[in-house]
Structure 1
Amino acid sequence: MHIIITDAWLARSRAMHLSGLTLVGVGVLASVLLMLGAITTYHWVFLEGVRQGWPGFAPVARLVHQDEANSQNAYVRANLDAMARKLGEMQARMVQIDSLGERVAGLAGLSPAEFKTTPGAGGALVGGRDLTMDELMSALDRIDQNSGSRVDWLTVVESRLFDQKIQSTMVPTEKPVRDVQVGSPFGFRIDPITGRSALHTGLDFPADPGTPILSAAGGVVVVQEYHAAYGNMVEVDHGNNLITRYAHASKVLVKKGDIVKRGQKIAEVGTTGRSTGPHLHFEVWVSGVPQDPQRFLAAGESMAVAKAPGGALRKH
C-alpha cells in the first residue's frame, strides 16, 4: 500500500509504503485504544450519572449493588452453615467425652453425676433455622467453657487413678518367695527352740539357701542390719504406717534408704539368726502391730484371679 502526502506550501509530495503486517499492527492498536476509550467513557458517564442522579442511572446502580450484596450474603451464609455443622460435630464429641468421663470417674471412686454436662449446653446445634453469628459465637463460648471444665475434671480423675495405682503397688500382696508353700503360719505355736507356746508374728517359707527373696510391695528400705533373733534382716516402709520385714537372709542386696519396687529381689534365703533351717521369715506390721501376712497375700491372689481372662468365672 502506498500513501502520497502533498505539501501545498512547499510544493512537493512525499510517498509512504505500508506493508500488510504493518497495517494489521496499526489496526490492532487502534482497536485497543478504541476499547479503552469506550470503557473509560462508560465508567465516567455511569459514575457521573449515579452521582448526579441522572434519570435511569439510579435503578441500574441499585441492581448492581443488590447483586454484590446478595453474593456477599450467600458467601457469609455458606460459611456460617459450615461453622454450624462443625459446631454440631464438636457438641456430639463433647457428649461422647461426657459419657466416657462418667465411666472413668466411677472407676476412680468419684461421683459420675459431677461429670454431667451443664443443663442446656448439649443437644443439636442446628435446629431448623439459620443461626446468626452471635448465636454461633455464644455456642463456641459454651463449648470452650465445657471443654475447660472437662479437662479440669479429667485431671482430677487422672490424679485419683494415679493415687490408687500407687497405693496398690504399696500394699504387700506380692508373695516374697515364689513357688514355695507356707511352712509355719501366723499365730500361737510351739516354739521349735524353747518348746513353749509363743506368738509367731509372721509366715515361714522354707526354701533352699540362695532362693530369691522378693519385696512384697514398693517402698523404701528403712532397716538393713543383723539382728540376734532375725539374723540378716531387711525392713521396707510402704507408707501409711505399713512395714514388711524379711529375716534370716543369707545375703542382702539392698541397703537403708534404697527405693525398691514390687517383686524386686532384695535378699536370698538363709538360716542366720535364731533359725533351725533355711527359710524366710516374713512379717507385716501396721501401726506397730503385727498382722497376719496371709490376709495380704490372699488379697493379691484374688486380684490376680479377677484380672486373668475368665477370672470372674473361676472366682465363683
Structure 2
Amino acid sequence: MHIIITDAWLAKSRAMHLNGLKLVAAGALASVLLMLGSIATYHWFFLEGVRQGWPGFASVARIVHQNQPDSKDAYVRANLDAMARKLGEMQARMMQIDSLGERVAGLAGLNPEEFKAAGAGGALVSGRELSLDELLTAMDDLEQVTGSRVDWLTVIESRLFDQKIQRTLVPTEEPVPGVRVGSKFGFRIDPITGRSALHTGLDFPADTGTPILAAAGGMVVVQEYHPAYGNMVEVDHGNELITRYAHASSVHVKKGDIVKRGQKIAEVGSTGRSTGPHLHFEVWVSGVPQDPQRFLAAGEGIRERQLASGGAAPR
C-alpha cells in the first residue's frame, strides 16, 4: 500500500509505503487506542452522569448493579451452610462423647443417668437451611452442653484417681515374690512351744538376704527390734490398715519414711523368735489381725485381669 501526503501550503508531498506486517500493526494499534478511549469516555460520561443526576442515568446504574446484592446473599448463605455443617459434625461428636462418658461413669461407680442429665442440650442441626439467629442459638446450646460435659468428666476423673490411689494403698503385692507360703494364717502347733496357738500372719521361707517388698504404699510407723518379731517394720496404709514385716536380717527404711508399692524395705532373716530365715507377714485392720492371703489373692486376680487385657499390673 502506498500513501502520499501533500502539503498545499508548503507545496511538498511525502510518500509512505506500508507492507502487510506494518498494516496489521497499525490496525491493532488503532484498535487499542480506540478501545481505551471508549472506556475512558464511558467511565467519565457514565459516572459523571450518575453523580450529577442526569435524567436516565440513575435507572441505568440500578440495572448495572442490581445483581450485586444477590451475589452477597449467596456468599453469606454459602458460609452459613458451611458453619451449619461443621456445627452438625461437632454435635455428632458430642453424642459420641456422651456415650463414652456414660460408660466411664459406670466404671467410676457413678450413675450414668446423672451424666445424661448434666448435659441436656439442644437438638441436632437439621438438614434444612438455618438462619443466622438459629445458628447462633445452636452454637450457644452446644457451648453450654460442652461446659457441663467438661465439669462432669472432671468429676469422673477425680473419682477414678481416688480409686487408683485406694488400690495402691491395699496390700495386694507379694512381699517376697515367687516364694510359696510355708505357714498359713490361723491356729497351728507352735514350733517352739509345741502347743496350739493362733498364727497371725503368713510365713514366707527364703534365703537370708532375699528382698522384702512393701505390699502397698504407705508410711513407716514402726521400725524397731522386737523380742518376738526381731527386726520389724510396720507400714500404715490409712483407714486403720497396717502391714507388719518381721524377722528381717536388715532394714532399709526408718520411721516416717513414705514407701511405694513394691519398694524394697528390708531383707529376709531369722531375728527374734524364729526357727529359720523367713518373712513373717501380717495385715491388721482396726487393730484386728486379718488373713493376708485374702488380700494377696485379690491382687493376683487384678494382675491376671490386667495381663488378659494386655495391660500392666497396677503399681
Q: Under a length normalisation based on structure 1, what TM-score does the superposition of the two structures give?
A: 0.83
Greater mean deviation of Cα atoms: 149-158 or 29-38:
29-38
Change (3 A) 1:66 1:2: closer
C-alpha contact (below 8 Å) 2:120/2:145 kept by paired residues: no
Partner of 1:206: 205
Partner of 2:313: none
C-alpha contact (below 8 Å) 2:121/2:142 kept by paired residues: no
Change (3 A) 1:237 1:5: farther
Question: Residue 116 of structure 1: SS of its match in structure 2?
Answer: helix
C-alpha contact (below 8 Å) 2:121/2:144 kept by paired residues: no
Change (3 A) 1:13 1:142: same
Partner of 2:104: 104
Partner of 1:313: none
Supply the distance in 1 between the matched residues of 2:15 and 2:231 (Cα, whole angstroms).
126
Supply the distance in 1 between the matched residues of 2:186 and 2:238 (Cα, whole angstroms).
25
Question: Residue 213 of structure 1: SS of its match in structure 2?
Answer: strand
Supply the distance in 2 between the matched residues of 1:295 and 1:2 (Cα, whole angstroms).
122
Question: Residue 222 of structure 2: SS of its match in structure 1?
Answer: strand
Partner of 1:314: none
Question: Residue 229 of structure 1: SS of its match in structure 2?
Answer: coil
The AA in structure 2 aligned to 1:137 is L
Partner of 2:62: 62
Partner of 2:217: 218
Would you say 1:92 and 2:95 are equivalent positions? Answer: no
Change (3 A) 1:120 1:227: closer
Change (3 A) 1:270 1:194: same
Q: Under a length normalisation based on structure 2, what TM-score does the superposition of the two structures give?
A: 0.83
1:225 Cα deviation from its structure 2 partner: 2.6
Would you say 1:127 and 2:127 are equivalent positions? Answer: yes
C-alpha contact (below 8 Å) 2:241/2:286 kept by paired residues: yes
Question: Residue 245 of structure 1: SS of its match in structure 2?
Answer: strand
Question: Residue 171 of structure 2: SS of its match in structure 1?
Answer: coil
Change (3 A) 1:142 1:18: farther
Supply the distance in 1 between the matched residues of 2:169 and 2:64 (Cα, whole angstroms).
79
C-alpha contact (below 8 Å) 1:209/1:278 kept by paired residues: yes
The AA in structure 1 aligned to 2:55 is W
Question: Unmatched 5+ residue regions in structure 2?
Answer: 310-315
C-alpha contact (below 8 Å) 1:170/1:219 kept by paired residues: yes
Partner of 1:262: 261
Greater mean deviation of Cα atoms: 97-106 or 111-120:
111-120
Partner of 2:40: 40
Change (3 A) 1:158 1:18: farther
Supply the distance in 2 between the matched residues of 1:179 and 1:247 (Cα, whole angstroms).
18
Supply the distance in 1 between the matched residues of 2:192 and 2:260 (Cα, whole angstroms).
35
For the aligned residues, what is the CA RMSD? 2.9
5 Å matches for 1:89-238?
89-116=89-116, 118-121=119-122, 123-128=123-128, 130-238=129-237
1:17 Cα deviation from its structure 2 partner: 7.1
Percent identity, please. Answer: 73
**In the TM superposition, what whole-angstrom CA distance separates every residue of 1:222-271 from its partner, at most 9, and x where no partner exists?**
33332222111122222222221100011223333443332233222211
Supply the distance in 2 between the matched residues of 1:119 and 1:240 (Cα, whole angstroms).
38
Q: What is the total number of aligned residue pairs between the two structures?
A: 305
C-alpha contact (below 8 Å) 2:102/2:115 kept by paired residues: yes
Supply the distance in 1 between the matched residues of 2:307 and 2:121 (Cα, whole angstroms).
43
Question: Residue 143 of structure 1: SS of its match in structure 2?
Answer: helix
Partner of 1:301: 300
Question: Residue 290 of structure 1: SS of its match in structure 2?
Answer: strand
1:16 Cα deviation from its structure 2 partner: 9.1
Partner of 1:273: 272
Question: Residue 102 of structure 1: SS of its match in structure 2?
Answer: helix
Question: Residue 176 of structure 1: SS of its match in structure 2?
Answer: coil
Question: Unmatched 5+ residue regions in structure 1?
Answer: 311-316
Supply the distance in 2 between the matched residues of 1:185 and 1:58 (Cα, whole angstroms).
107
Supply the distance in 2 between the matched residues of 1:142 and 1:164 (Cα, whole angstroms).
33
1:307 Cα deviation from its structure 2 partner: 4.3
Partner of 1:248: 247
**In the TM superposition, what whole-angstrom CA distance separates every residue of 1:188-244 from its partner, at most 9, and x where no partner exists?**
444333445544322222223233322111223333332222111122222222221
C-alpha contact (below 8 Å) 1:204/1:282 kept by paired residues: yes
1:49 Cα deviation from its structure 2 partner: 4.1
Supply the distance in 1 between the matched residues of 2:264 and 2:49 (Cα, whole angstroms).
99
C-alpha contact (below 8 Å) 2:202/2:280 kept by paired residues: yes
C-alpha contact (below 8 Å) 1:85/1:126 kept by paired residues: no
Change (3 A) 1:38 1:119: same
Greater mean deviation of Cα atoms: 236-245 or 249-258:
249-258
